[in-house]
Structure 1
Amino acid sequence: MTKPFSWLIPGLLLSPFYQIALSFELQPIASSLIETGRHATRDDDFSVLDLLSSETFLWGGSQNGRSALGNLTVHMPGDAENIISMEKFQPLLRSTECTNKSMTMDFKDERSYQYGQRLWQWVNDADERRFVLVAGNGHCGWNQHRLPFVVSNVLFNDAKNMISVIGYVSDWKTVAHTYELFVGGHPSSEKRDIDKTFSLDFNHALPLSSKSFSMGDFKFTYDCDDCGTKGEFEFQFELKTELFIPTGVSMTLSPQGVSANFNPRLGLSANFTGTKTDEMELGKIPIDGLTIPGGILDLGPEIVFSWGYALGPIIGTAGVSTGVSIGLEDSAELKIDLTSPDLSASGWTPKVTKKPITVDASISGGIKVNTKAAMELALEALNTGFEIGLDLEPWAGATLTVASSSGAVCPDDPENHHFGVKVAPSAGVNLNVEASQAGDENEPFLSKAIASLTMPLPSMCTGFGAPSNAAGSSRKTTTKVTSTPLPRPYTTYSPTTAPPTVEPTTITTATSTYSYSSSSAISSIPASSPYPYIHRKRHIERSNG
């Protein structure tokens, strides 16, 4: 069902710091350089003075190795309206004088003046006729950006070859009622000198690499070295509007070398039978945005990192290390249609690399930890504004069961420990997208998962305590427990076979190294992410300043 266009609002509640310090402003590409066939190529060709039913304006620029192109085509389909760009005929002028109500142009020769007089007389022949004259940067001396001027009357001075247009200074949001706007690389129908796709930087380390807290007898430490994201997202945006009503609004994101690395080490000390879950924001990293001056476009992106856990029941004290790395194919593409609303995604099945899990002391319970890297975009184009979040969430978990035996508790244990911990690990990743109205505190009007994978890993067993063989019988029968891994005894599991091929659906089978029965300590923790989106929380925070 198509959502009503109540979300057409004139502003985004973004920090001015993000817009000014981190956005780069695209500069105009002069209309006289556009190969449209309508600029003067001969001394007697003054067609650049023709009043047109549509006109195209380009902006371009590059910063930090990334280039962008903005293409705005404004249509004037009515019988009583037209448009013309001064950039095309400015070489025919000696000078221009502007006020808020008039523009006076001094033509270099009589022939160009007479051509303009003949064409522009059109606006004087009927009271309802208007045309938009767009002055280029600095053409009026005081205008820093392209300036739309609505002309309702024209005066001619034959003696001085001067034309004065009478009307008023306006803005793009008012005069551009029917248009197409493209921002990114070059559109498929246009071949320009600037052809690099604009990209959003995704190379960032996790802002907070360690944390600790305690609640009663529950103590928890978290460390994550070499955790963060890499790569970039190519970005394109298209907006089509007819008589101020959007008929097509879409955004496309494509990963380029995008990966995420998550290698947490947890220090746990607890004795409780319940469960604990939480998610906390670690930090925001604003990245280079994009601005087309004159209120045409403002893009304010940022990366928001968060971290979450689901634990319990937990009995014991130990250190647990695990991890997962994910990578996205460069061929992946996500296109979000904001008028339907809907999205199409292809090639987003992530490559998941599991890390070995280590346990350095006796502990039982359920553990699941995740990190989330959200690419958030707040965008306003003319009178249309919205926010979009793309969340990448790798996670790792395990069920830990304390075991004992009169013999060796773990097969293939050369020291034949009587006590140990059996581990059933798992790992996965969730990729989610949501979109909301800019400044709207209601629920997102679009929220979908574009990928969700769960990868159970082969079981493992770690022996602890005094070994039962003769060589170890003289050792103490207690195990020292610390918050860091002991040199020995502990066992690191490392798969000896290649990981199974990951399909877009959840994997439900895995090779088990050892068979055993254990308590369902983590059965209440779903394989998919248990944590709600935090995008709405951040969105409301921005809305409240």
Structure 2
Amino acid sequence: MVPSTLLSIALSYGLLGLQVLATPIVNLDQIPPLKAIREDDLLAGTVPLNKLHSRSIADSMKNAIQLMPIDEDEFLPSHLRKRSDDLARLDLQDQVKLIYGGVVSDKQIYLANMTLHQPDPSHPLIMMEKFDKLLRSISCRKGRVVLRFNDEDAMNYAIKAWDWINEKESDYFFLIANHKSCSENMQRTPYRVDKVKYDKKSFTTTLTTNDIPWETVATDFDLSISSANMPRRVRTRSVQTLDIIKRGFWDFIGNFNFGKSVYWDLTIGDVNGGRRKIFADPLHEFSKLEITCVGCYLAGGVEIGGFIKVEKGSVKQLYVAAKPKNLHGKLEVETFIRASLPEPGLKWDVNLFELGIPGLSIPGIFTLGPSLQYQVGFQLAAAGGQGNFSLGVQTTIPNEATVIGNLLDVTKSSATGFEGSTVKPILMLNEMSARANFYVYAQPVIGFGVRVLTQYGVEGAIELKLPYINADIVSGYNKDGFCPNDKLRRVSGAKSTSGANIELWFKAAKFTGFPSILSDFDRKLWGVRWPFYETCFPMQGSPGFRPPEPVYPTAAATTIDPPITVTRSSDGSPTFNPRAIQDPPPFTVTRSIGIGSGPTPKPQVMRHPRARRAIA
């Protein structure tokens, strides 16, 4: 990837063969500090979750990978596991651990770690999979579960542990069953056990049960998502989800850490310089205008974590965390313009790429459906003639960066570690006889839908402007030499001033089942602005002229903005709408702009001999 660079001296030679000379605004030893983004620098009103996001999220949730139950003992080394014939496994518990897993690829396994607490002190819990090795047989029928123990000792221990519920009508405990005769689709199923009967001769216990929904027993729980890497030695074996729930599988996997996040590969686009047209005058309103994305891509991925806490049947905490992993991208937009644009110019955005990311689901308890879109947008105003230029940037986000999004309390959302983000500007000018004001951005959007139990739901998104960049390009004439320090004193040229911002936004909408006080919101968690320098491009230079190669001093972003929040009313309109970019000034120019002294000539096209012609 490109090194960290901050453009203090603009390109002095070599842009598509065009000979140019750059003049720094300041001395290289006096690079000014980076400026924080002001509210009026922001893109005007970040867009709410659009229909494309919502549809993609819905599809991901519908097709989510169904995680299967995994016995907690499978994650312990065999010498540390409680003996399978330990009668203490029949004791009722105030909390139990439910682990789920599913194969998402040949490299990764999704995992969910759920701690289920008893709904109240009088009604404890027990998991059948904890004591099934003490049983000869299990049979589940309508309204009852029949358990046959291996021996009298196990039977007598169960009587001591469970018989208390026969004393009062109001006494019961909860059984979480995971057996083919008790559960549908091999999933855990909750039961309420109201009575217990014993047949000591046959070592048989009959539990009188009621089928219950998860909402009845799962009134208090914590749930986090994580992952495990598939070892190379098993990747060629086409491991399926049913394989990972078999006993002994995790002995084969080896060391495991529940703190490992889920990894989503976000590589999308064309790293080899492919061209994709994003605007070509489809309505014939903007004559002879063509805009193309050249080698636009996003590479790397993001590690995702999630945490849910439910208390007394209400969702109290709902976090999504994201951490970039070797995340970098390139945005280069090539523009051909052959006429002035109608005021106030053109604003356009397009979804260049869409990437399906597998969701995950624990039936009846939790579903997470992610999606990724890679959007490109621009705003262009131009007057006075013709232009052929490219504007863009290469960006790297450090692995140390972290985003924590609190879906229930946006003020507790945060972003850290982005200060090391780096940019390398791209500015190429092939011909110019106009004034152009151009803003362009690339925006990866990680959308996600979350459903908890059956009554709670929310859609959210993490948007990263990676980055947006602006340039104001003005062509002109000066009989004494257009660019300072141009030894050839060429009379025509163009000047450009530019800058780039990186911004991170967190948003949530479409709350279901939560109190009405939770409103849709947009919140800028982090942002930084790189002010680039004025660049001067002399035109029609002598073929023998070859200035020295440009120098790119390195620097990283260090200035962070305070968070900015945008809430939305019920109709979706923002109640606070920070201004993104200044509207382009109204242009009344109908000829090349003169800079300096001397007469202003007629408009002329300044073109390098090798500049490509895309539009007649």
TM-score band, normalised by shorter chain: 0.7 to 0.9
Q: Which amino acid aligns with 1:427?
A: A
Partner of 1:306: 375
Partner of 1:424: 497
3-state SS in 1 of match to 2:432: coil
Matched, 1:379 2:438: no
Deviation string 1:165-191 (CA, Å, 9 cap, x unpaired) is: 1122223233201111111259xxxx9
Partner of 1:269: 338
Deviation string 1:488-521 (CA, Å, 9 cap, x unpaired) is: 8999997523144422248xxxxxxxxxxxxxxx
Partner of 1:120: 162
| Displacement after TM superposition at 1:228 (Å) | 1.6
Distance 1:149-1:439 versus aligned 2 partners, 3 A rule: closer
Q: Which amino acid aligns with 1:388?
A: G
1:210 alignment partner, one of 258, 265, 277: 277
- Pairs within 5 Å for 1:491-510: 495-505=550-560
Deviation string 1:285-315 (CA, Å, 9 cap, x unpaired) is: 2433332432222111111222222222422
Partner of 1:329: 398
Partner of 2:141: 99
3-state SS in 1 of match to 2:551: coil
Q: Is the 8 A contact 1:137 1:143 kept in 2?
A: no
Matched, 1:297 2:366: yes
- Pairs within 5 Å for 1:331-350: 331-342=400-411, 343-349=413-419, 350=421
The 2-side partners of 1:105 and 1:284 are apart by: 55
- Pairs within 5 Å for 1:338-377: 338-342=407-411, 343-349=413-419, 350-377=421-448
Partner of 2:111: 69
| Displacement after TM superposition at 1:265 (Å) | 0.8
3-state SS in 2 of match to 1:57: strand
Distance 1:501-1:196 versus aligned 2 partners, 3 A rule: closer
Q: Is the 8 A contact 1:208 1:282 kept in 2?
A: no
Partner of 2:9: none
Q: TM-score, normalised by structure 1?
A: 0.78
Q: Is the 8 A contact 1:463 1:489 kept in 2?
A: no
Distance 1:423-1:380 versus aligned 2 partners, 3 A rule: same
The 2-side partners of 1:247 and 1:174 are apart by: 17
Q: Is the 8 A contact 1:352 1:428 kept in 2?
A: no
Aligned residues: 475
The 2-side partners of 1:28 and 1:67 are apart by: 13
Partner of 1:236: 305
Q: Is the 8 A contact 2:119 2:218 kept in 1?
A: no
3-state SS in 2 of match to 1:140: coil
| Displacement after TM superposition at 1:99 (Å) | 2.3
Q: Is the 8 A contact 1:336 1:344 kept in 2?
A: yes
The 1-side partners of 2:461 and 2:511 are apart by: 12
| Displacement after TM superposition at 1:56 (Å) | 0.9
Q: Flag structure 1 segments of 5+ consecutive residues without an equivalent.
A: 1-11, 473-487, 507-525, 532-545
Matched, 1:46 2:78: no
Q: Is the 8 A contact 1:205 1:226 kept in 2?
A: yes
Partner of 2:288: 219
Deviation string 1:18-72 (CA, Å, 9 cap, x unpaired) is: 2455x333332214446699985385x3111111111111123443323432111
3-state SS in 2 of match to 1:123: helix
Q: Is the 8 A contact 1:367 1:399 kept in 2?
A: yes
Distance 1:20-1:77 versus aligned 2 partners, 3 A rule: closer
The 2-side partners of 1:90 and 1:463 are apart by: 83
Partner of 2:461: 389
Q: Is the 8 A contact 1:211 1:222 kept in 2?
A: yes
Q: Is the 8 A contact 1:31 1:87 kept in 2?
A: no
Cα RMSD for the two superposed structures:
3.4
More strand by share: 1
Matched, 1:407 2:480: yes
2:175 alignment partner, one of 106, 130, 133: 133
| Displacement after TM superposition at 1:269 (Å) | 2.3
The 2-side partners of 1:492 and 1:397 are apart by: 26
3-state SS in 2 of match to 1:271: coil
1:200 alignment partner, one of 258, 264, 273: 264
The 2-side partners of 1:402 and 1:231 are apart by: 39
Q: Which amino acid aligns with 1:264?
A: V
Deviation string 1:413-447 (CA, Å, 9 cap, x unpaired) is: 46543322222232232221112244699996332
Matched, 1:251 2:344: no
3-state SS in 1 of match to 2:132: helix
| Displacement after TM superposition at 1:198 (Å) | 1.0
Q: Which amino acid aligns with 1:504?
A: T
Distance 1:530-1:430 versus aligned 2 partners, 3 A rule: farther
* Residue identity (%): 20
Q: Flag structure 2 segments of 5+ consecutive residues without an equivalent.
A: 1-53, 229-254, 562-577, 584-616
Q: Is the 8 A contact 2:528 2:559 kept in 1?
A: yes
Distance 1:353-1:13 versus aligned 2 partners, 3 A rule: closer
| Displacement after TM superposition at 1:347 (Å) | 1.0
3-state SS in 1 of match to 2:124: strand
Distance 1:35-1:530 versus aligned 2 partners, 3 A rule: farther
Partner of 2:21: none
Higher relative contact order (CA 8 A, sep 6+): 2
2:537 alignment partner, one of 462, 483, 491: 462
The 2-side partners of 1:365 and 1:143 are apart by: 62
| Displacement after TM superposition at 1:77 (Å) | 5.3
Q: Which amino acid aligns with 2:155?
A: Y
The 2-side partners of 1:33 and 1:148 are apart by: 21
Q: TM-score, normalised by structure 2?
A: 0.69
